[in-house]
Structure 1
Amino acid sequence: MPETEEAIHKQILELGKKARRASREMMGMSADEKNHALLAMADALERRKEKIQEENARDVSEARDAGLSDALVDRLVLDDKRMAAMTQGLRDIAKLPDPVGRTLKSWEKENGLILEKRAVPIGVIGMIYESRPNVTADAAALCLKASNAIILRGGSEALRSNQAIADALQEGGSATKLPADAIQLVPVRDRKAVTSLITMDEYVDMIIPRGGEGLIRAIAENATVPVLKHYKGICHVYVDGDADPEKAWSIVENAKCQRPGVCNAAETLLVDLSIGEEWLIRMAEILQKRGVELRGDEKSREIVASMLPATGEDWHTEYLDMILSVRVVDGIEQAVEHINQYGSGHSDAIVTRNKGRQEYFGKMVDSAAVYINASTRFTDGAEFGMGAEIGISTDRLHARGPVALEELTTYKYVVTGDGQIKE
């Protein structure tokens, strides 16, 4: 019998209370204690591997019976390789520098007060995600390393897998100084649990949704807790008239084709009128040989007649597929105007040898990551040298771009005096 909305809310409220208490305890944990907990959790994942994969097999079987696509089913599977990567991920996070307690800035006032801006945990993180059960371990480990408690709510299609992983993490942490409720999983499938979690301001400090645009938009529109998000990745590559032709062909091909189903893949190609028709003709040949469907504006189709006509909706679309919109523009100003109008603020690139245009693009494009003569595919915490990440943010507050350990902290001021009083 389904639980009532009131019963579910009470259940989630209890998770919040426990998480808040755990977050207070975690503020006192040392770096060594947190690393010890992470390594113990990795060991527990290895011990429970068979149980986790048994539960995962049940989820996968149920997903197939429910008619989920092969791509979605594949995201659910925890084979030996993915289990090993998940376990190693915890050990890698243990090796990273502790983000908590860093002095971000310090100064002394004329009255002798010493002010220190210090990195501290955010508190309680609510993580809402779809499909991939390995996110359970990744998110928990990152939040733990930054001394945050976490409440995890995975997709209903992976509930058994997520629960088995969470049980292993809790078992590993129980042998260390990690508070018992530092890692909790929402145990019910009902969507009413999400409503309770995202409106529980008293106990949850930030919500991080990870999944499709529909999920993220629904959470952002209904949450009263702050949400760190990105809706989609409409990424552009602008090929300037002064681009190195060979580098431009390579960068565009990589940005579109290397892995088209991810948020940092290129969805629109902007080509400067002055680079010449030959460059675009050759680019189209390269992309079409790779199986990319090209949708061009009127000028592009005059040059490459095989392109399909682009509609107004194409400029707004994140394809996540082997499809690319193409537009010929008259100068960098028009390219930047297009990006700022249609882009999602994720990742955008320029290919040019002109230093002035490099600087203009870097200054005027309003995105989380701006690339000069490089593929957009590098927007990733590991590629940025941050280690693991919990997601990509296209927000402006409080984090932008890859959200890694430093972005899972906030700060406070510690002010030291010697009897000073305000006159």
Structure 2
Amino acid sequence: METLNQLGEQAKNAARLLSQAATPQKNEALRLMSQALVDHQETILSANQKDLAKAQENGISGTMLDRLTLNSDRIYAMAEGMRQVADLPDPIGLVSQMWTTDNGLTIGKESVPLGVVGIIYESRPNVTTDAGALCFKSGNAVILRGGKEAIHSNQAIVHVLQKTLIQTAFPPTVIQLVEDTSRASSTGMMTLNRYIDVLIPRGGAGLIKAVVEHATVPVIETGTGNCHVYIDKAAQLDMAKEIIVNAKCSRPSVCNAAETLLIHEAVAQEFLPVIEEALSAYQVELRADEKAQAILQHAVPANETDWETEFLDFILAVKVVSSLDEAIEHISRYSTGHSEVIVTDDYFASRAFQKRVDSAAVYVNASTRFTDGFEFGFGAEIGISTQKLHARGPMGLSELTSYKYIISGEGQIR
């Protein structure tokens, strides 16, 4: 098993080569890797079954098991994501600005790769291909460190990608996997300043907190998603029901799932029984404040912790509010800055919500589940940034670049 220093040195060397690669070469390699995923899906699915069997032995929850599970459809989606990345414009080498100074110097601002990107993530094997494709297209070598739950799946996927890269002009070390899933390897990546240019944690609150607190490598903080849906007094209630069911139940184990429902008191009496019935089909547990509890049939009392929790499960906190102001105040206090929704036909309420709510994605009349790189047209995503420096929201190709100034003169001196 290679050490982190070996992986880092290999990644640094590979990054220098990749940063100079022509766009057609990168695109062709991505298409070959995409096809290889489909061609070798049986190998990948067999490896995934080993991970699933171990996870079930360890009593992993149903929602977390869903994050880990691969099937033919999901592998095709992973392959399609890589193809879409190949079809996107190359962000490298673009000169976004050009000007001439008073002394005749011509100065341009040109996009360049970050270098070596480290990704620490948990039990979703699709992150392996998403991160690999986006880093590759944006000229970055990547060191992937997945969780122990998905180790066999990740090994199989990376083996397929590296075996394909051998057939191209690129070294397979542009995409590498840390096969040691101990805490030591995670901690080691956090301090691998000599080789890693930026570290991106993608997972639960505990992982992200640990990386942010202990990393000496620059970090882009991603996605704990305590996401809110607010049902305004001017909402279309049929629409509201569909949005909430989708946001909570379509895939509760992901960061863009809704965790808290806020509802205006003017429509609470009419709407809460309707949404309770709709959510009961999914056995969603409702944790409600006193006003909502008085209307709901089977809710349990919510406590302070429930308002700030990313459940990642079939659990929804419910609160009745007296105004748009109260809803925004609640979101401001408890949100993680990921995704928030207002359902309303009141234009002025919708504009106030979008202006005053300070999250990465703020929706009017649409599900939080759209906060996703694929849905935003990025082909895939490296993660969803909830910070403000450098990148925010779903991170695609442009968020994996920096820039340099290119200056031309005619002998000027200062």
Cα separation, 2, equivalents of 1:65 and 1:291: 24
2:231 corresponds to: 239
Name whichever of 68-77 and 110-119 sits farther off.
68-77
Q: Out of 100, 119, 124, which is 1:127 matched to?
A: 119
Residue 210 of structure 2 corresponds to 218
AA matched with 2:204: G
**2:391 equivalent to 1:407:** no
List 4+ stretches of structure 1 deviating above 6 A. none
Q: Which residue in 2 is equivalent to 1:253?
A: 245
Residues of 2 paired with 1:196 and 1:167: CA distance?
A: 23
CA contact (8 A) 2:234 2:344 kept: yes
Distance between the aligned counterparts of 1:419 and 1:380, measured in 2?
49
Question: 2:174 maps to which residue?
Answer: 182
1:23 partnered with 2:5: no
Structure 2, unpaired ranges of 5+? none
- The two structures, once aligned, show a CA RMSD in angstroms of 2.5
**1:319 equivalenced with 2:349 (yes/no):** no
Aligned residues: 414
Distance 1:62 1:277 in 2: 46
Residues of 1 paired with 2:43 and 2:248: CA distance? 39
Q: Secondary structure at the match of 1:341?
A: helix
Q: Which moved more, 1:12-21 or 1:410-419?
A: 410-419
How far, CA to CA, are the matches of 2:158 and 2:277 in structure 1?
49
Structure 2 residue 264 is matched with structure 1 residue 272: yes
* Alpha-carbon separation, structure 2, partners of 1:392 and 1:273: 32
1:209 is aligned to 2:211: no
- Over residues 265-295 of structure 1, what are the superposed CA-to-partner deviations in whole Å (9 max), with x where a residue is unaligned? 2211212234463244444444345533322
**Alignment-derived partner of residue 112 in structure 1:** 104
Change (3 A) 1:43 1:217: same
Residues 321/193 of structure 1: CA separation in 2 closer, same or farther (3 Å cut): closer
Q: TM-score, normalised by structure 1?
A: 0.89
Q: Kindly state the Cα deviation for residue 32 of structure 1 after the two structures are TM-superposed.
A: 0.7
Alignment CA distance shift 1:285-1:192 (3 Å): closer
What is the TM-score of this pair, normalised by structure 2?
A: 0.91
Q: Give the direction of change, closer, same or farther, for the CA distance of 1:186–1:331 in structure 2 (3 Å limit).
A: same
Identity %: 50
- Separation of aligned partners in 2, 1:239 and 1:68: 33
For the pair 1:35 / 2:27, whether they are aligned, the reply is yes
Residues 59-81 of structure 1: CA distance to partner in whole angstroms, max 9, x if unpaired? 44444445545555554444443
Partner Cα separation in structure 2 for residue 285 and residue 78 of structure 1: 31
Distance 1:57 1:291 in 2: 27
Task: Pick which of 268-277 and 320-329 moved more.
Answer: 268-277
Residues 339-397 of structure 1 deviation map (CA, whole Å, 9 limit, x = unaligned): 01011111001122223222221111110000112221211111112221122111112
Instruction: State which of 127, 133, 136 in structure 2 corresponds to 1:141.
Output: 133
Provide structure 1 residue ranges, at least 5 long, that are not aligned to the other structure. 1-7
Aligned counterpart in structure 1 of residue 147 of structure 2, from 155, 164, 173: 155
Question: Does the Cα contact within 8 Å between 1:151 and 1:183 map onto a contact in 2?
Answer: yes
1:273 to 1:108, Cα distance in 2 relative to 1, 3 A = farther
**Aligned partner of 1:372 among 336, 350, 364:** 364
Question: For residues 65 and 300 of structure 2, what CA distance do their matches in structure 1 show?
Answer: 32
- When residues 274 and 142 of structure 1 are mapped into structure 2, their CA distance, relative to the original with a 3 A threshold, is same
Amino acid at match of 1:345: G
